[in-house]
A and B are shown apart, each in its own frame.
Chain A
Amino acid sequence: MYAYDELDRTIINERVEEFRDQVKRRLSGELTEDEFKMLRLQNGVYLQLHAYMFRVAIPYGTLSSEQLRRLAHVARKYDRGYGHFTTRQNIQFNWIKLAELPDALADLAEVGIHAMQTSGNNTRNVTSDQWAGVAPGEIEDPRIWSELLRQYTTLHPEFSFLPRKFKFAITASDHDRAAIKVHDIGLRLYKNEAGETGFEVLVGGGLGRTPFIGKTIKPFVHGHDLLSYVEAILRVYNQYGRRDNIYKARIKILVHELGIEKFAREVEEEWLQMRDSALAIDDSVIKDIRSRFTYPVYQKLPHMPDELKQAAHDPHFEAWRRNSVAPHKAPGYAIVTLSLKPVGGPPGDATADQMDAIADLADRYSFGEIRVGHEQNLALPHVARRDLPALWKALDRIGVATPNVNLVSDIIACPGLDYCSLANARSIPIAQELTRRFADHDTASLIGRLHINISGCINACGHHHVGHIGILGVEKNGEEFYQITIGGRADENAEVGTLIGPAVPYGDVADVIEDIVEAYLALRARPDELFVDTVKRLGVEPFKERVYATR
């Protein structure tokens, strides 16, 4: 966990009071909506179809049990008893009243949570690997650097009015769980051949209307140069990014239009002028941030305790363990993923009661810490392996132990037309139907790892471009239609999926996905050839044939 210092607490509290005053002036008519809109957006308040929506940041996906309980409280007191965890380590409340928002923000501020920069054309919540600090083989905890960037970019005047929103993601593992290649800036912490740690810096990734995979702009940047280098990128973007056309305003378009070499030269030139400025970070700064992260004191525990050996006879427990439990850097411990993808449920939603129960379980079994991942699931990062059977039972009782993590029913979906004012089509009911079709655990296990991602419009909040199967809602003559892509992926080998053919109507989507999955089962070379690998080997044709031959 990271403990905010006095300065952070002051900033957050002052911000609440500032917003309280702005809301008051808005409700009295002193501020028009035109004047107020940007102010509310800077505090994470959108207008959706039915109500305001309130987006709260969970920096690098780390929450304390106290913070999670407070989110539950906000859901219960100011909303309708639930929240939606998003692909960018935020939580959204869908029914909040503007008049009550300042109180909700004040309640959150007491536990160090805020909604600053969760919207608007600024640097957004810095996201990271949800297993940061506990994944085996990690170079170092990437959240230290996420936190540095968070401090540096929060309320930074030069980055508060960028041409468009700007998103950072950081990982320090070989396997990228933070989707860094589809972010404006992706950072990969690694050790170079000389044994020094530093960052590979990627730039210009993004989804939305024009998806791009990020390109490496500099293969190695030392930690003490990180801020100056990032600032150089942001300056070049701020200067040349297109403000005249919202569809061309993201940095990915600039990088694409200039070409990565030219863009890199511009950045280098800018950087050389200031790399030794005040932005050069000395070790004491990092040391200070590091010291504010507290880590559990792990016990020496056995890898295979009796409790676990016994529970292994229960096939239900084993099914869950195989999918939800991951190795931990400390022997005798595990990382446990909590599935927010129950069969027939909306992906990523958690009720206030579930949040409270999870907070209690985190206190009991995970040193009071919870993580939020971009797949819209939660995790308990420090669970003793001997506690796994007891934890499983408790998680099952509150409906977050569906044994489907990384399987076909672990679907990422945006709110879509049920909530979102920009949507063309619904996402959630499509996801719900698919989870019912693939509810049988044996079938899902047979299929293996398969990510289905759904967005209700081209903005791609549901990451459809990088789903192994991507589903994108479009509108045709007032009806909901869906384009299907296959072969996308969001990890270290990120790729944008390929469209298989004409969009299909709402009622056909689940059948089409079943066809694609059946085709895969028939076509795969071996039982352990993943869906994406089969698509890579064979291309989209055989899948296309299967889907459209009879339609």
Chain B
Amino acid sequence: MTSPLQQKIKITGPSVITANRTWDGIVIWRTTAKGWSADLSDAAIVRTADEARALLTESIADDVGAIGAYIAPVDLRDAGAIKPGNLREHIRSAGVTIDLPVPV
């Protein structure tokens, strides 16, 4: 597989880096403090392809902590609050859109 870093990076708006945590698989976002958070509002925002590449490079380097890191769009129009930029990312951050068979 081509590494995400060899692929051409193009972003169309504010973005974040997201991945899954290696030991348990939960959804995480790269923070400004060079760590990961399970809360989207902690995510570091990138606005250019260069920024995105730099943050992705740093994220991928943490192979023990996270898997499958990639760039995901976010929506900041609600007074700067970080909201997922598409349905897929919405589902990743808010969970499935259905009632689970066993309530959590």
| Stretch of A48-56, A139-147, A180-188, A535-543 that contacts chain B | A48-56
Asked whether, in the complex, the Cβ of B20 is within 8 Å of the Cβ of A51, the reply is yes
- Nearest residue (CB) in B for A76 is B102
**Distance in Å from the Cβ of A53 to the closest Cβ of chain B?**
9
Of A82, A418, A426, which one neighbours B101 at CB under 8 angstroms?
A: A82
Residues of B within 8 A of A112 (CB): none
Of B63, B64, B67, which one neighbours A47 at CB under 8 angstroms?
A: B67
Residues of A within 8 A of B64 (CB): 27-29
B97 within 8 A of A: yes
B22 within 8 A of A: yes
Of B25, B86, B104, which one neighbours A97 at CB under 8 angstroms?
A: B25
Asked whether, in the complex, the Cβ of B63 is within 8 Å of the Cβ of A33, the reply is yes
Asked whether, in the complex, the Cβ of B63 is within 8 Å of the Cβ of A82, the reply is no
In the complex, per-residue mask of B42-75: 1 if CB is within 8 Å of any chain A CB, else 0: 0000000000000000000001100110000000
- Nearest residue (CB) in A for B104 is A80
A296 within 8 A of B: no
A339 within 8 A of B: no
Of B22, B63, B96, B104, which one neighbours A419 at CB under 8 angstroms?
A: B96
**Distance in Å from the Cβ of A105 to the closest Cβ of chain B?**
16
Asked whether, in the complex, the Cβ of B101 is within 8 Å of the Cβ of A478, the reply is no
B78 within 8 A of A: no
Given the interface pairs A29-B64, A98-B22, the reply to whether A49 lies near B91 with Cβ below 8 Å is yes
Asked whether, in the complex, the Cβ of A417 is within 8 Å of the Cβ of B91, the reply is yes
Taking residues whose C-beta sits less than 8 angstroms from the other chain, chain B's interface range is 20 to 34
Asked whether, in the complex, the Cβ of A52 is within 8 Å of the Cβ of B63, the reply is no
Interface residues of A in 4-36 (CB under 8 A from B): 26-29, 32-33
A398 within 8 A of B: no
Asked whether, in the complex, the Cβ of B101 is within 8 Å of the Cβ of A349, the reply is yes
Main secondary structure of the interface of B (DSSP, over half): loop
Residues of A within 8 A of B67 (CB): 33, 47
Of A29, A47, A349, A417, which one neighbours B25 at CB under 8 angstroms?
A: A47
Residues of B within 8 A of A478 (CB): 86-87
Output the residue of B27, B64, B92 with the most chain A CB within 10 A.
B64
Taking residues whose C-beta sits less than 8 angstroms from the other chain, chain A's interface range is 35 or more
B100 within 8 A of A: yes
Residues of B within 8 A of A428 (CB): 96, 98
**Distance in Å from the Cβ of A121 to the closest Cβ of chain B?**
14
A429 within 8 A of B: yes
Asked whether, in the complex, the Cβ of B86 is within 8 Å of the Cβ of A47, the reply is no
Asked whether, in the complex, the Cβ of A98 is within 8 Å of the Cβ of B88, the reply is no
Asked whether, in the complex, the Cβ of B97 is within 8 Å of the Cβ of A32, the reply is no
**Distance in Å from the Cβ of B5 to the closest Cβ of chain A?**
13
Residues of B within 8 A of A301 (CB): none
Given the interface pairs A33-B67, A417-B88, A418-B96, the reply to whether A51 lies near B25 with Cβ below 8 Å is yes
In the complex, per-residue mask of A446-468: 1 if CB is within 8 Å of any chain B CB, else 0: 00000000000000000000000
Asked whether, in the complex, the Cβ of A432 is within 8 Å of the Cβ of B102, the reply is no
Residues of B within 8 A of A32 (CB): 63
- Nearest residue (CB) in A for B3 is A34
A99 within 8 A of B: yes
Asked whether, in the complex, the Cβ of B102 is within 8 Å of the Cβ of A47, the reply is no
B26 within 8 A of A: yes
Asked whether, in the complex, the Cβ of A47 is within 8 Å of the Cβ of B68, the reply is yes
A368 within 8 A of B: no
A345 within 8 A of B: yes
**Distance in Å from the Cβ of A72 to the closest Cβ of chain B?**
11
Asked whether, in the complex, the Cβ of A27 is within 8 Å of the Cβ of B22, the reply is yes
Given the interface pairs A50-B95, A417-B88, A429-B97, the reply to whether A98 lies near B23 with Cβ below 8 Å is yes
Asked whether, in the complex, the Cβ of A49 is within 8 Å of the Cβ of B104, the reply is no
- Nearest residue (CB) in A for B26 is A51
In the complex, per-residue mask of A88-104: 1 if CB is within 8 Å of any chain B CB, else 0: 00000001111100000
In the complex, per-residue mask of B19-35: 1 if CB is within 8 Å of any chain A CB, else 0: 01011111100000000
CA distance A428 to B20 in the complex (A): 23
Given the interface pairs A29-B63, A47-B67, A417-B87, the reply to whether A346 lies near B98 with Cβ below 8 Å is yes
- Nearest residue (CB) in B for A478 is B86
Interface residues of A in 59-98 (CB under 8 A from B): 80-82, 95-98
CA distance A82 to B95 in the complex (A): 16
Asked whether, in the complex, the Cβ of A50 is within 8 Å of the Cβ of B26, the reply is yes
**Distance in Å from the Cβ of B67 to the closest Cβ of chain A?**
5
Residues of B within 8 A of A351 (CB): 101-102
CA distance A351 to B98 in the complex (A): 15
CA distance A423 to B86 in the complex (A): 13
Asked whether, in the complex, the Cβ of A97 is within 8 Å of the Cβ of B24, the reply is yes
In the complex, per-residue mask of A180-207: 1 if CB is within 8 Å of any chain B CB, else 0: 0000000000000000000000000000
Residues of A within 8 A of B88 (CB): 49, 417, 423
- Nearest residue (CB) in A for B20 is A47
In the complex, per-residue mask of B79-95: 1 if CB is within 8 Å of any chain A CB, else 0: 00000001110011001
Residues of A within 8 A of B24 (CB): 51-52, 97-99
CA distance A97 to B87 in the complex (A): 24
- Interface pairs A-B: 4 shortest CB-CB: A81-B102, A51-B25, A97-B24, A29-B64
Chain A to chain B contacts (Cβ below 8 Å), 13 pairs: A28-B64, A33-B67, A51-B24, A52-B24, A80-B102, A82-B100, A82-B102, A97-B23, A417-B91, A423-B88, A428-B98, A432-B98, A480-B87
Q: Apart from A52-B25, A81-B101, what are 15 other A-B pairs with CB-CB below 8 Å? A: A32-B63, A33-B63, A49-B88, A50-B26, A51-B20, A81-B102, A82-B100, A82-B102, A95-B25, A97-B23, A98-B25, A346-B101, A418-B96, A429-B97, A480-B87
